């Protein structure tokens, strides 16, 4: 059944469209959305609609000739991206990565390494992984499926990815299940860009552990178009994997 303009988008679909918007104007670079189903769907939605030159992968080393449905293999491969070439893209800024922070502060410093003191952490996480190189050399965005003060902290316990106060190349936006945030302020502190339909500014502020820059008027995050809903539901994610990350 075709999607009509009157159908209501779910919160997950609003988030996916917001993740797609991260890539507007990027052109022919690799979209490395590694933080979950929603940003991966967003990158492929961008390529399927308004950014046809965007390079997307099958989740591995193959560059797909067309956006691949979530959970599927590429039907047609247009290129091969071995690790040495992947590193060249990282070093030369030809990549926009979407990562998932365990903690993030007001300037975009992120932690995916440990919770607690480095000498005796209470939780061991992934380690810094590609955080330093990504944030110093590439455009970076973040996806947070559960916006809370545990993630949005005054100070991160360990700096895995650097923020704007430590020399980040560009931290474009942070998309969460509640809102879209950016760093369009004079001192590059985090700002509330939009709230998702049904969410209030107060909810976002209450769930953020530092002082956000909040404009006098905060718009709603845009709804996906009827065509974007059709592509998400019928082509890219017919199994509805997006709803696992952001339940209604």
Q: State pLDDT tens for residues 39-51.
A: 999 999 999 999 9
Q: What angle do CA 41, 11, 188 make, to 5 degrees?
A: 75
Residue 175 backbone phi and psi in degrees, to 5:
-105, 130
What is the domain-level CATH number for residue 49? 3.40.1080.10
According to the model, what pLDDT value does residue 247 have? 82
Ordered per-residue pLDDT tens for the chain, 248 residues = 344 444 799 999 999 999 999 999 999 999 999 999 999 999 999 999 999 999 998 777 888 888 999 988 887 888 888 888 888 999 999 999 999 999 999 999 999 999 999 889 999 999 998 999 999 999 999 999 999 999 999 999 999 999 999 999 999 999 999 999 999 999 999 999 999 999 999 999 999 999 999 999 999 999 999 999 999 999 999 999 999 999 87
Q: What angle do CA 106, 178, 172 make, to 5 degrees?
A: 45
18 within domain boundaries: yes
Provide the domain limits for residue 20: 11-242
5 within domain boundaries: no
174 within domain boundaries: yes
190 within domain boundaries: yes
Predicted TM-score (pTM) of the model is 0.94
67 within domain boundaries: yes
69 three-class SS: coil
CB proximity list for 14: less than 8 A, separation 6 or greater = 196, 197, 221, 222, 223, 224
127 within domain boundaries: yes
Q: Domain total for the chain?
A: 1
Q: What angle do CA 158, 164, 165 make, to 5 degrees?
A: 70
- CB of 45 within 8 A of CB of 228? yes
Give CA–CA dist 179/151, Å, rounded: 14
According to the model, what pLDDT value does residue 58 have? 75
6 within domain boundaries: no
Of 121, 122, 124, 94, the closest CA to residue 112 belongs to: 124
121 within domain boundaries: yes
Give CA–CA dist 116/157, Å, rounded: 6
């Amino acid at each position: 059944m075709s999607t009509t303009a009157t159908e209501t988008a779910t919160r997950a679909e609003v988030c996916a469209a917001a993740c797609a918007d991260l890539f507007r104007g990027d052109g022919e670079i690799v979209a490395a959305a590694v933080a979950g189903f929603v940003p991966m769907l967003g990158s492929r939605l961008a390529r399927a609609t308004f950014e046809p030159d965007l390079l997307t992968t099958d989740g591995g080393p193959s560059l797909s000739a067309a956006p691949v449905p979530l959970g599927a293999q590429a039907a047609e491969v247009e290129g091969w991206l071995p690790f040495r070439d992947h590193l060249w893209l990282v070093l030369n800024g030809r990549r926009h990565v979407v990562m998932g922070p365990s903690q993030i502060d007001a300037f975009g410093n992120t932690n995916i390494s440990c919770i607690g003191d480095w000498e005796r952490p209470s939780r061991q996480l992934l380690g810094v992984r590609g955080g330093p190189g990504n944030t110093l050399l590439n455009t970076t965005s973040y996806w947070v499926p559960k916006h809370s003060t545990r993630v949005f902290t005054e100070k991160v316990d360990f700096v895995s990815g650097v923020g704007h106060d430590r020399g980040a190349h560009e931290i474009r936006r942070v998309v969460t299940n509640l809102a879209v945030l950016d760093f369009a302020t004079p001192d590059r502190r985090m700002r509330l860009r939009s709230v998702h339909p049904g969410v209030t500014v107060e909810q976002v502020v209450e769930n953020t552990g530092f002082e956000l820059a909040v404009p006098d008027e905060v718009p709603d995050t845009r709804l996906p178009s009827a065509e974007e809903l059709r592509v998400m539901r019928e082509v890219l994610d017919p199994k509805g994997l997006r709803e696992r990350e952001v339940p209604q």
